[in-house]
Amino acid sequence: MIGTTLDIQAIRKDFPILQREVNGKPLVYLDNAATSQTPQQVIDVIVDYYQRYNANIHRGVHTLSQEATDAYEAARQKIQKHFNIAHSHEVIFTSGTTHGINLVATGSTSFLKEGDEVLVSAMEHHSNIVPWQMLCERTGATLKVIPMNLEGELVMEEYHNLLSDRTRLVFCNHVSNALGTINPIEEIIEAAHKVGAAVLIDGAQAAAHIKPDLQALDVDFYTVSAHKMCGPTGVGVLYGKEEWLKKLPPYQGGGEMIAEVTFEKTTYADLPHKFEAGTPNISGGIAFGAALDYMNSIGFDAIAQYEDELLNYATEQLLTIDGLKIYGTAAHKTSVISFNIEGIHPYDIGTIVDKLGIAVRTGHHCAQPIMDFYQIPGTVRASFSFYNTKEEVDKLVEGVTRARNMLL
């Protein structure tokens, strides 16, 4: 029995999509690590924006523009409060985590030179690898990799050995999207700072499960995406310490990010607008704030406790299936299970369980180096949220067992 203070059935009613059927079966949505579903409370905020006060923000004197601006900036303050950020101008709206990482990677070009080193962990999503490879190509800096072990944990002894007075930047995800591992980012940040390096943490996978205190972490940059947190796609946030955001040049030129424009010289706007060129995803930003309100009304401690119980139950039940192997068995995990069955391609399992209405992710999960490390083509990944149930775990186990019996 899974014990929780949450009323899961009441929560499920907030999510219209959970009421639908797929292939004639009730939807069992277990692809939350790719994107979470969106509650009616957030959908209503998006609809309300377009029905009542759709207007371009900032600089407008008319009522609709002022209402839209107020709602958008109120969302920025909600995000500031949620992540315990010192100043609202350290909250940069982006199109998502990938945008935020690329903003920092491109802006760091002028700070790096040949002989400098940047460190990235072995378990990164491609969006936290490729921008840094491009940065190294531009600057002549060297990319070094923090290794991982078979349990799916970073080898911290090696990390400390890699740090030196040549280390300029360190990049690591808070939680691995492919394995669910919670990385020891406090230790990573503290050690990097001792050698004068700045740290960017990719929080996309963590933010739906963990409420990070960014001032306590003392992290230099932290990125998140709204769509992993019950919000809409196409919007996210980059947090950066004020001192770093002032050093970085603008990422894109255009409206909103300027102070004065002449053909001789253009001066740039103050933070945060310096990094927010063009018309933003206004409804998305407002809805991100609403999504945080929704998740906080449930409570992150209650969410973490319940998801941990779901993870333990699902792990225990899946391991009863003959030939099933779980990849990523770290001591500290969020609710992600990556697995394979010996002799069966993960795609085939995913296709069969989809016929039963069960949505899981198959493939390399944009983390090919992890798959190469385990010498596998990919995995089946089941990822759970606070609106999933023990009964859905049972359906997953039944579905995977059925797939195994059909394919072997």
Q: Which residues are catalytic, by number? A: 366
In this structure, which amino acid lies at residue 386? F
22: closest CA among 347, 351, 355?
A: 355
Helices 282-298 and 300-318 cross at an angle (nearest 10°) of: 80
Q: Which of 288, 253, 341, 255 is nearest to 59 (CA)?
A: 255
DSSP assignment, residue 187? H
In angstroms, the CA 405 to CA 44 distance is: 44
Work out whether the CA dihedral 121, 122, 127, 132 comes out positive or negative. positive
H or E stretch covering 282: helix 282-298
Other beta carbons less than 10 A from residue 215's beta carbon: 12
Residue 379 forms beta bridges with which residues?
363
Alpha carbon distance 268, 273 (integer Å): 9
Q: Is the peptide bond before 249 cis (omega within 30 degrees of 0)?
A: no
